[in-house]
């Protein structure tokens, strides 16, 4: 005998499975078109700014991690808890922003840049590849040199990106306090 609480669940699963099978059969007969864009619309909106901000955030998190003072031998549990919490949070944000930077770079590489861009900027493939590889390095390590190289690579990609649109750029101080650094902006 089925109880009232399991019957709807069982019926729901059967209906869901039947629907999924029907959709799969329709897809085999008339496959849907695939959209190619970062938002799958395609919208045609691309901008390297998010990658630069993410890379700058990685630099700042490395600064904060390297600036943490490890509690001494006689430190209290609260001091160790605070240290552990801070290093965990800084590391999580560093890795989150490295992933965001990588995601944005891949979107630009796979959805925006075209063969004619690579012809004009012969170093484009190498710059994108090395910069994307740096996102792994900064996730795996607390490495200021790699974080700065990641930001520099994002700057190069931004300058190339805007050049492909015929737009001049300028490097400007980030104005983000202690992190320093600069960002590439299109000029008007």
Residue pLDDT, tens place only, 51-106: 999 999 999 999 999 999 999 999 999 999 999 999 999 999 999 999 999 999 99
Other CB atoms closer than 10 Å to residue 162's CB: what's the count?
19
pLDDT given for residue 27 in this prediction: 74
Average pLDDT of the residues in 142-155: 97
User: Exposure pattern of 6-32 as b/e (b: 16+ CB <10 Å)?
Assistant: eeeeeeeeeeeeeeeeeeeeeeeeeee
pLDDT, position 34: 55
User: Does the structure show a pLDDT above 60 at 16?
Assistant: yes
Q: What is the pLDDT of residues 168-177, one digit of tens each?
A: 999 998 888 8
Q: What is the percentage of the chain residues whose pLDDT exceeds 70?
A: 86
Record the tokens describing residue 61, joined without a space.
Answer: 């998190």
pTM above 0.85, yes or no: no
Instruction: Say yes or no to pLDDT of 125 above 70.
Output: yes
pLDDT at 36 over 80: no
Does residue 137 have a pLDDT over 50? yes
Rounded CA gap, 48 and 159, in Å?
9
Phi, psi dihedrals of residue 185, rounded to the nearest 5°: -125, 145
First CA to last CA distance, the chain:
73
Using the predicted structure, report yes or no on whether residue 43 has a pLDDT greater than 80. no
Q: Which residue has the higher pLDDT, 8 or 135?
A: 135
How many residues comprise the chain?
A: 188
Q: 49-186, superfamily in CATH?
A: Nickel-containing superoxide dismutase (1.20.120.400)
| Cα dihedral sign, 42-43-48-51 | negative
Instruction: Determine the pLDDT at residue 11.
Output: 66
């Amino acid at each position: 005998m089925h109880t009232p609480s399991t019957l709807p669940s069982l019926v729901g699963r059967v209906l869901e499975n039947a629907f999924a099978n029907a959709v799969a059969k329709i897809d085999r007969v008339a496959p849907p078109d695939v959209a190619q864009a970062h938002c799958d619309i395609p919208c045609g909106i691309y901008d390297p700014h998010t990658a630069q901000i993410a890379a700058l955030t990685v630099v700042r998190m490395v600064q904060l991690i390297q600036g943490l003072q490890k509690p001494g031998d006689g430190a209290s549990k609260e001091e160790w808890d605070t240290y552990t919490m801070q290093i965990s949070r800084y590391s999580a944000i560093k890795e989150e922003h490295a992933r965001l930077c990588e995601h944005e770079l891949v979107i630009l590489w796979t959805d925006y840049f075209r063969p004619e861009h690579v012809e004009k900027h012969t170093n484009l493939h190498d710059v994108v590849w090395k910069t994307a590889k740096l996102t792994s390095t900064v996730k795996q390590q607390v490495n200021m040199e790699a974080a700065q190289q990641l930001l520099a690579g994002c700057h190069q990609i931004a300058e190339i990106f805007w050049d492909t649109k015929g737009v001049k750029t300028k490097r400007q101080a980030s104005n983000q306090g202690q992190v320093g650094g600069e960002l590439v902006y299109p000029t008007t």
